[in-house]
Structure 1
Amino acid sequence: MPRPVLLTVDDDPQVLRAVERDLRAHYRQDYRVLRAASGPEALETLQELATRGVPVALILSDHRMPEMDGVAFLTASLALHPSARRVLLTAYADTDAAIGAINQAGVDRYLLKPWDPPEERLYPVLDELLAEWHSHYRPAFEGVRVLGSRWSPRAYELREFLARNHVPYLWLDVEGSDPDVARLQATPEAGQGLPLVELPDGTRLSAPTPAELTEHVGLHTRAEQDFYDLLIVGGGPAGLAAAVYGASEGLRTLLVEREAPGGQAGLSSRIENYLGFSTGISGSRLAQEAVTQAKRFGVEIVTQAVTALRAAGSYRVLDLADGSSVSGHAVILATGVQWRALDVPGLAALQGAGVYYGAGTTEALACKDETVYIVGGANSAGQAAMNFSRYAREVVLLVRGGSLAASMSQYLIEQIEQTPNIRVELNTSVVGVQGQERLEAIEVHCSATGQTQTLDANSLFLFIGAVPGTEWLAGTLERDPQGFVLSGPDLMRGGKRPRGWPLDRDPGLLETSLPGVFAVGDVRRGSVKRVASGVGEGSVAISFVHQYLARV
């Protein structure tokens, strides 16, 4: 495969040579560096590269150019190499235009001239962008292959499992023309049932479950030890933050995650209001970086479902789905929430076959040139709408309320208003679905007009609120009627400690009704449903764990 290209564009010959020099000095081992003296010339180069199938990793363009300014050029380049990272090089006086380009033209970052020294002001920015590009880039493939139907719920489940666990895989639709499709369809394992998973060593698995696939792709399902200082249940932002801070402060830490690190935030196509990331960061990338950071500090991560929590004297025990158990001094619950099911007849049968809960990260490319329907009016729905708008012909946001302002951040509302292929339908609910093997149509009702209409639909994505999924804690911890875990002051009724509380002190701020067990993030009653607050609670909880351990 040819080396990925870094393309720099500037009409000033001296600046162009300087940028090319700095790029070659740092990146020539892994990338081919090309240059162009104008926007039109650069577009010709990009067209030729696209025709030859040469990947473009990054485009660095000056803003003030006579024939075509940098924003116009970078916007036009989207059609030729949509996955390339785009950087606008600008003077201080043009920063407003640069910020506008980030919001409207798909620009990933802007840099001010001069950028000396490049070791401090150029390379760190480009390194981050190139790392993000590589996380999505698929060169000649040597990893897991999945053969199946787009409309198979099991195939969708496997693709989501692999994607969320950052396991590189190649999706092969049985109706596609890829040579591997015919090859795999001719194998005996394919005759036993689809989807078929082929591993890098040639092993083929017929219709495996995610649990059956786990160890085959290098994920751990069993803890290496029987006892830890700290057990964390849930690998979303709150759980990962607790793991990083706990392990970095010397606690032997085990994190148990049922599906994949990142939680619901890990499914977000773009988080734009998280401090420190001026152009936003994908939930997948945030989760991947957090996992790497946790492992660097020695956190052990196990992919398992926890079935029960119990006390054994001063120890806390987690029972796991495979029948094993693990013990520790303290536990942090960071299990987050699950999407609320939409109560529509026949919808459950189509889940994974056109009906999806959450962002459906693996489905975006499959929805190219289609109409996508998204149900919900909060940030998660808005972020998904923006992501799908890059691929779909039209994205229709179905909102039950009369306004987006009540539940969606203003920056997202403005982006949606500025995106021509996103349409918002207010006062609208899905009341019916049609289809046997896959979704074929939806029935929507408008409360403002009283009318119900049937719309052809292949893809319906649901973001309609969340539930904590804490049934497994019933009888162990006190919860509110919705299932959210009570902690700290919420446990005190009339100034009295919770029933059965064994200690001569009040529960700590994040402590549950079982001493030494703490709740953080979305699973906790009264939490703020934001990534930043989850990370904050996860990190703060470690100080309470230390206080608890000092007393036992």
Structure 2
Amino acid sequence: MAQAAGPARTVILTVDDDPGVSRAVARDLRRHFGESYRIVRAESGASALDALRELKLRGDLVAVILADYRMPEMNGIEFLEQAIDIYPGARRVLLTAYADTSAAIDAINVVDLDHYLLKPWDPPEEKLYPVVEDLLETWRATDRKPVATTKVVGHRWSARSSDVREFLARNQVPYRWYSSEDPEARCLLAAAGQDGSRLPLVITPDGTALVEPEDAELAARVGLATTPTADFYDLVVVGGGPAGLGAAVYGASEGLRTVLVERSATGGQAGQSSRIENYLGFPDGVSGSQLTERARRQAARFGAEILTAREVTGLEVNGPARTVLFSDGSAVSAHSVILATGVSYRQLDAPGLAGLTGCGVFYGSALTEASACQGHDVYIVGGANSAGQAAMYLARGAKSVTLLVRGPSLSASMSHYLVQQIEDAPNVSVRTGTVLEAAHGSEHLEQLTLRDVASGHTELVDAQWLFVFIGAAPLTSWLEGTVLRDGRGFIMAGPDLTPDGRPPADWDLDRPPYHLETNVPGVFVAGDARSESAKRVASAVGEGAMAVMLVHRYLEQS
């Protein structure tokens, strides 16, 4: 275990109102970290705050604070809000039950939460120790000054304000949200010399005010890497979903100079999933954001560069080099490329939807909006796993959740375990044979027109929230003229290129394409963007790893 600065005076504090749980957490922490850190435990938020104040007066350092969510008088989030003022540099963990994970996700923005752990945490070797070790490593790497937070001032029903919040949340950038009507928001606007007519306003930790920033400017200002450190790599991975992250982890860990390029945020569609329950090795399920963040940290630890908010617009073959072109005119080259661009949710073509996107209408899970759905009626269009996962997540706080499904049942496109959960949820209903005809509202969504497929009968319902999951379209138009795609735009590779046993017409090597290799030698595809892929997280990660193996084979023979 790495040594901590001043180990005898550095503290890990845990607080839980259940004495048995409190002792068990402290016992497990002492067993693994006791030689280098002092473990302090408390059985209430108030006593824990007293302990922190005493430690502060003595000049002790506090590295990690673990707080139970459900504590009487002062819950874990309320405690952590006050603990930040005393030890702003301490890493923060919330201990929570499965039923409270929505509160834990909200706490990411409220108290800059670093992690949440589901109880029970057995075995600690798998669930507790790796998390605390990562947080201790992060704490040791900081200068322990107060944590500066990005501030976002926006309008509740502003599409761009919603996009900015989603961008920051998915990239794990701590921020605090201020509705433009709040007094504090007006003070921030005045300080920035703005009258509120142009929103959102983003104030970065160094005090820079950004008015209606684009993603690239926002990423650069909040500390995300946007520019490659070199001009040439062994491997460029385009896309940061499960396939791209898998490729980055395996590429970097096996010694390839690897850079991953992502246009928005790592995780792709999977990163927006509220709960993935059928991914190998996570019997209690895992959120897409948790899985993504672990994979991103893993790739970075092995040395992969991760670039955010970089839109790729083209691919060129320049002799042995494969050059990826960016929208700003710059480029990066490599010996090989893995295309892991994934897919995006298709836009629903119904009157009124386009103008209300981001103002009550959302494509994908939009987890940052979930807390605002508390006590409201929510509608979801779609019948596949992503729609089912969103329904179960939103049902925790919504008054009701209604799934609108064109087909006769969910079983044709949704995993059995999700169908069962939906059937058992008292506030989730399914309307089969139903399509969305139109959306209505001025500044935000107010009503929906629904149509019964069989009878043609229409119905007007009140609705403020609509989430759409209606299939996926590949993000591959920028490959036109370079990489072969099927009729739907998915990338063809390996056997799909050689159905008769002969390589493509422009193939100039004396071997057929490898299994995940496109018609351009040295350019591979992995994950959902591949024609006839399985469209599952596990298969995408596997293809990312397999593509790296084939990259090695290609490089050895080049």
Same topology, TM > 0.5: yes
Tell me how far apart the structure 2 counterparts of residues 279 and 272 of structure 1 sit (CA, whole Å). Answer: 7
Q: CA deviation at 1:84?
A: 9.8
Change (3 A) 1:255 1:44: closer
Q: CA deviation at 1:18?
A: 5.5
Change (3 A) 1:5 1:399: farther
1:327 aligns with 2:333: yes
Tell me how far apart the structure 2 counterparts of residues 484 and 373 of structure 1 sit (CA, whole Å). Answer: 30
Tell me how far apart the structure 1 counterparts of residues 547 and 283 of structure 2 sit (CA, whole Å). Answer: 27
Report the counterpart of residue 452 of structure 2 in structure 1: 446
Deviations 1:129-156 (A, max 9, x none): 7799999xxxx97311111112101101
Tell me how far apart the structure 1 counterparts of residues 29 and 556 of structure 2 sit (CA, whole Å). Answer: 55
Q: Residues 90-489 of structure 1 correspond to what in structure 2 (within 5 A)?
A: 108-110=118-120, 121-122=123-124, 124-127=126-129, 142-176=148-182, 179-191=183-195, 193-303=198-308, 304-489=310-495
Q: CA deviation at 1:286?
A: 0.9
Q: CA deviation at 1:542?
A: 1.1
Which region of structure 1 is more displaced relative to structure 2, 210-219 or 190-199?
190-199
Deviations 1:517-539 (A, max 9, x none): 00110000011010000000000
Report the counterpart of residue 83 of structure 1 in structure 2: 104
Change (3 A) 1:246 1:126: closer
Report the counterpart of residue 92 of structure 1 in structure 2: none
User: Which ranges in structure 1 are unaligned for 5 or more consecutive residues?
Assistant: 37-42, 61-73, 86-105, 113-120
Alignment check: 8 A CA contact 1:4 1:55 kept: no
Q: CA deviation at 1:297?
A: 0.9
Tell me how far apart the structure 2 counterparts of residues 409 and 312 of structure 1 sit (CA, whole Å). Answer: 45
Tell me how far apart the structure 1 counterparts of residues 323 and 135 of structure 2 sit (CA, whole Å). Answer: 41
Q: CA deviation at 1:265?
A: 0.5
**For the aligned residues, what is the CA RMSD?**
3.2
Tell me how far apart the structure 2 counterparts of residues 268 and 44 of structure 1 sit (CA, whole Å). Answer: 23
Q: CA deviation at 1:122?
A: 3.5
DSSP 3-state at the match of 2:43: strand
Report the counterpart of residue 7 of structure 1 in structure 2: 16
Q: CA deviation at 1:32?
A: 4.3
Q: CA deviation at 1:540?
A: 0.8
Tell me how far apart the structure 2 counterparts of residues 295 and 214 of structure 1 sit (CA, whole Å). Answer: 17
Q: CA deviation at 1:23?
A: 5.6
TM-score normalised to structure 1 length: 0.82
DSSP 3-state at the match of 2:315: strand
Which region of structure 1 is more displaced relative to structure 2, 150-159 or 44-53?
44-53
User: Which ranges in structure 2 are unaligned for 5 or more consecutive residues?
Assistant: 1-11, 46-67, 82-92, 107-115, 139-145
Tell me how far apart the structure 1 counterparts of residues 268 and 75 of structure 2 sit (CA, whole Å). Answer: 36
Report the counterpart of residue 48 of structure 1 in structure 2: 73
One-letter code aligned to 1:46: M
The structure 1 residue matched to 2:42, chosen from 33, 46, 59, is 33
Change (3 A) 1:270 1:131: farther
DSSP 3-state at the match of 2:71: helix
Tell me how far apart the structure 2 counterparts of residues 374 and 260 of structure 1 sit (CA, whole Å). Answer: 23
Q: CA deviation at 1:83?
A: 3.2
Between the aligned residues of both structures, percent identity stands at 48
Change (3 A) 1:418 1:45: closer
Alignment check: 8 A CA contact 1:355 1:459 kept: yes
TM-score normalised to structure 2 length: 0.81
Q: How many residues align?
A: 491
One-letter code aligned to 2:527: G
Which region of structure 1 is more displaced relative to structure 2, 253-262 or 26-35?
26-35
Report the counterpart of residue 90 of structure 1 in structure 2: none
Report the counterpart of residue 515 of structure 2 in structure 1: 509
Q: CA deviation at 1:486?
A: 0.4
Deviations 1:395-445 (A, max 9, x none): 111111111111111111122222222121111111101112221111111
Q: CA deviation at 1:458?
A: 1.0
Tell me how far apart the structure 2 counterparts of residues 462 and 426 of structure 1 sit (CA, whole Å). Answer: 15
1:518 aligns with 2:539: no
Q: CA deviation at 1:254?
A: 1.1
Q: CA deviation at 1:516?
A: 0.6
Tell me how far apart the structure 1 counterparts of residues 538 and 345 of structure 2 sit (CA, whole Å). Answer: 20
Deviations 1:282-336 (A, max 9, x none): 1111111111111111101112111100100121111111111111111100000
Tell me how far apart the structure 1 counterparts of residues 367 and 289 of structure 2 sit (CA, whole Å). Answer: 9
Change (3 A) 1:286 1:335: same
Tell me how far apart the structure 1 counterparts of residues 348 and 22 of structure 2 sit (CA, whole Å). Answer: 58
Change (3 A) 1:532 1:124: closer
Change (3 A) 1:486 1:6: same
Which region of structure 1 is more displaced relative to structure 2, 249-258 or 494-503?
494-503
Deviations 1:179-208 (A, max 9, x none): 522311323443261111111122111111
One-letter code aligned to 1:34: E
One-letter code aligned to 1:268: S
One-letter code aligned to 2:15: L
Alignment check: 8 A CA contact 1:143 1:169 kept: yes
Q: CA deviation at 1:55?
A: 4.6
Q: CA deviation at 1:47?
A: 2.6
Tell me how far apart the structure 2 counterparts of residues 325 and 270 of structure 1 sit (CA, whole Å). Answer: 36
Alignment check: 8 A CA contact 1:189 1:204 kept: no
Deviations 1:224-243 (A, max 9, x none): 11111111100111011111
Report the counterpart of residue 499 of structure 1 in structure 2: 505
